[in-house]
Amino acid sequence: MDENGSTVLSAPRCDRRTFLMATAAGVLSIRLAAKAKGLAQTAWAAPEPIGLPPLPYADDALEPVISKATVGFHFGKHHKGYVDNLNKLIAGTDYASMPLERIIAETSGRPEKAGIFNNAAQVWNHTFYWSSMKPHGGGEPPAGLRERLKASFGSVEACKKELHAAGMAVFGSGWVWLVYEAGRLKVATTPNAEVPFLKGAKPLLTIDVWEHAYYLDYQNRRGDYLRAVLDSRIDWGYASKNLEG
């Protein structure tokens, strides 16, 4: 009883060892619960969608060679459209958790997966294309790349002429590439959404020769578009980094 005559119920006493064991058990229980919650969140978390990489420059930075209007349609409609279509096609499938390059490799040559392949490859190709250009591009390549170009083509100008000719020779829609393969630099082309890395070639830079890449600015004058990009917008530094990387 207390001093007022009331009955006091005291908590049972425990020794130090019992107290420490109980405390440790409680902490362990909390940690296990937190870990289980984390695992559950990881297991059930939705995969991140394939994103639309931002342009590496302002949308008017390539003018007058490529207009702001063309960039707006090409990047804002076509490129974004491929991203949106791809995410719809892979939602709820194993592809949703794969990186873009693996999606391309896993669906290449499979007619039943053509929709996924085409959209995935076009996302990759367009991202590479935007990075292959820069404002005030062209000019002389970095020294290391320049020597490689001379060894493979005879001169930088000869390489540019071969890229131009190859781009003109693409029938319909496609891409012209500078690639590294079997110890040499080469010019390659791919139709539609095809990518050269599936055939063992390392892409260094590319120019899009689908009509949507140039028609607003050049109409049917693909050659003028190719020449203008090669003379004043191509990013030789980007090709050099890809060669060294």
Average pLDDT value for residue range 19-27: 43
Threshold 0.85, pTM exceeds: no
In angstroms, the CA 65 to CA 131 distance is 16
Domain stops at, among 131, 147, 179: 131
The answer to whether residues 163 and 118 belong to one domain is no
With respect to residue 188, please indicate whether it lies within any of the assigned structural domains. yes
Residue 136 is encoded by which pair of tokens?
Answer: 């005030």
For residues 141 and 109, membership in a common domain is answered with: no
- Any domain includes 46: no
Tell me what the mean pLDDT of segment 72-91 comes to: 98
Q: Is 154 left (phi over 0), alpha (psi -120 to 50) or beta?
A: left
The pLDDT tens digits of the residues spanning 87-124 come to: 999 999 999 999 999 999 999 999 999 999 999 999 99
CB-based contact 78:123 (threshold 8 Å): no
Q: Is the pLDDT of residue 78 over 50?
A: yes
**Mean pLDDT on 177-198:** 97
Q: Kindly state whether residues 196 and 218 are assigned to the same domain.
A: yes
Number of structural domains found in the chain: 2
Q: Does 76 map to a domain?
A: yes
Provide the pLDDT for residue 46. 60
The β-bridge relationship of strands 184-191 and 174-181 is antiparallel
Here the tokens at position 83 are 């991203």
Contact present, 205 and 242 (Cβ < 8 Å): yes
- 139 plus 199 within the same structural domain: yes
* Structural domain harbouring 123: 68-131
Separation of alpha carbons 237 and 55, rounded Å: 17
Of the three residues 109, 131, 153, the one that is the final residue of a domain is 131
Note whether 96 and 163 are same-domain residues. Answer: no
